[in-house]
Amino acid sequence: MGASGITFVVAVLAATVMNAAVLCSGGGITSSFVRKVEKSIDMPLDSDVFKVPPGYNAPQQVHITQGDHVGKAVIVSWVTVEEPGSKTVHYWAENNSHKHKAKGSFTKYKYYNYTSGYIHHCTIKHLKHDTKYYYKVGTGKTARTFCFTTPPEVGPDVPYTFGLIGDLGQTYDSNITLTHYEQNPMKGEAVLFVGDLSYADNHPNHDNVRWDTWGRFAERSVAYQPWIWTAGNHELDYAPEIGETKPFKPFTHRYRTPYKASNSTTPFWYSIKRASAYIIVLSSYSAYGKYTPQYQWLEEELPKVNRSETPWLIVLTHSPWYNSYNYHFMEGESMRVMFEPWFVKYKVDIVFAGHVHAYERSERVSNVAYTIVNGLCSPKKDQSAPVYITIGDGGNIEGLANNMTQPQPKYSAFREASFGHATFSIKNRTHAYYSWHRNHDGYAVEADSLWFFNRFWHPLDDSTTSA
């Protein structure tokens, strides 16, 4: 065993002993850290983070996401303002002079008194795994070049680190969150984004200019690594009072997902494989009752997961199922009732959600025994159940959720009303290291952390309380 392997084993043993010590505490933790209560303020439109790139018709709001099911394709998106311009993406592998090109398409939309620019989408296919690529959008002097690295080939022991961000918005706190994520020494390779992007709907008439500013703000990260999109309630933009009755109109024009690769019928629920993870994205704001398309898709999707190929089964949704804050309390309950038995049956490792503007981590619990006649309505420890993490703490304009239910329920392992981000670092098929970083700490300080034991390959008790 090499030095890195010895270090890994020592770290896991230390974490196991530490977790066992915490078990004696008798309950979950409500953090003693109290963030100063102050209003979150959107950065002004002339902020440098919203700066328009120089030159006529220069591409802006550049972003990428996975473009297929296994990580060998990337969807490149960007906006031009003055005219459509080129629909072509030029790309090439590092240390390879041979350049390729792919042709995309563009769209635009109107929302109340706003007309978008030309929104381009282009899928680059047949990429090699674990390879750095450069890509160029635009033409002439205003062409812009970016880069990304494809994930390793899908496999059971492939290490990979995901970033976790939710409910980001475009406030001064949002900027701190994104900066801390970029500077985190764990170095996330792709972001699992759990919904609520721009918060344009918090402005008069859902001011879609704020979709443009958010796109320019996030470009510094999402142009270089894929963000895996989950739709939140602030993506709905349903406003019949101003004549806007098509849900998700700005979001679906601006942000694409590879939903067809997993036989989904809509971009709001889909799955991807990435390294050793199988990621399922669900939509809290699309129908999910029995017989609906989302229900039928998930019923067919979960049995397809091969844990010998992708051991880590991760689910993203927006509205949390287990939430001990008084904000959005029990809004996720109906989806939990529909899908939780499946999550236990198929041993989902972890569920990430947003919506509540704070942080919370649960123990492995389930409430699958309950029926409307038996009265068994308390969540119970269940080592086949996922850990539920709420990370809707990106920094949005609506501010923090700091009103918690009391007493803290037994299933809640740790909660804190702060802004921040997290990373989930898969080491192999049995172990992954998770850490949450609050904004008021230096970027390297972990306010909450846990070694995860895979539910399929290493289903030991990884509880951190005696719940």
Mean of the per-residue pLDDT values for the chain?
93
pLDDT by residue (tens digit) across 33-65?
Answer: 776 667 789 999 999 999 999 999 999 999 999
> What pLDDT is recorded for position 37?
66
Q: Is the pLDDT of residue 24 over 50?
A: no
> What pLDDT is recorded for position 82?
97
pLDDT by residue (tens digit) across 306-330?
Answer: 999 999 999 999 999 999 999 999 9
> What pLDDT is recorded for position 376?
86
Average pLDDT over residues 334-353: 98
Q: Confidence class of residue 440 from pLDDT cuts 50, 70 and 90?
A: confident
Average pLDDT over residues 288-299: 98
> What pLDDT is recorded for position 35?
67
Q: Is the pLDDT of residue 15 over 60?
A: no
pLDDT by residue (tens digit) across 329-338?
Answer: 999 999 999 9
Q: Is the pLDDT of residue 1 over 90?
A: no
Is 431 designated active site? no
Q: Out of 69, 234, 328, 437, which one is annotated catalytic? A: 328
Q: Confidence class of residue 25 from pLDDT cuts 50, 70 and 90?
A: very low
pLDDT above 90 as % of the chain: 87
pLDDT by residue (tens digit) across 163-212?
Answer: 999 999 999 999 999 999 999 999 999 999 999 999 999 999 999 999 99
Q: Confidence class of residue 377 from pLDDT cuts 50, 70 and 90?
A: confident
Per-residue three-class SS string for the chain? CCHHHHHHHHHHHHHHHHHHHHHCCCCCEECCCCCCCCCCCECCCCCHHHCCCCCCCCCEEEEEEECCCCCCCEEEEEEECCCCCCCEEEEEECCCCCCEEEECEEECCEECCEECCEEEEEEECCCCCCCEEEEEECCHHHCEEEEEECCCCCCCCCCEEEEEECCCCCEHHHHHHHHHHHHCCCCCCEEEECCCCCCHHHCHHHCCHHHHHHHHHHHHHHCCCCEEECCCHHHCCCEHHHCECCCCHHHHHHCCCCHHHHCCCCCCCEEEEECCEEEEECCCCCCCCCCCHHHHHHHHHHHHCCCCCCCEEEEECCCCCCCCECCCCCCCHHHHHHHHHHHHHCCCCEEEECCCCCEEEECCEECCCCCCCCCCCCCEECCCCCEEEEECCCCCCCCCCCCECCCCCCCEEEEECCCEEEEEEECCCCEEEEEEEECCCCCCCCCEEEEEECCCCCCCCCCCCCC
> What pLDDT is recorded for position 466?
63
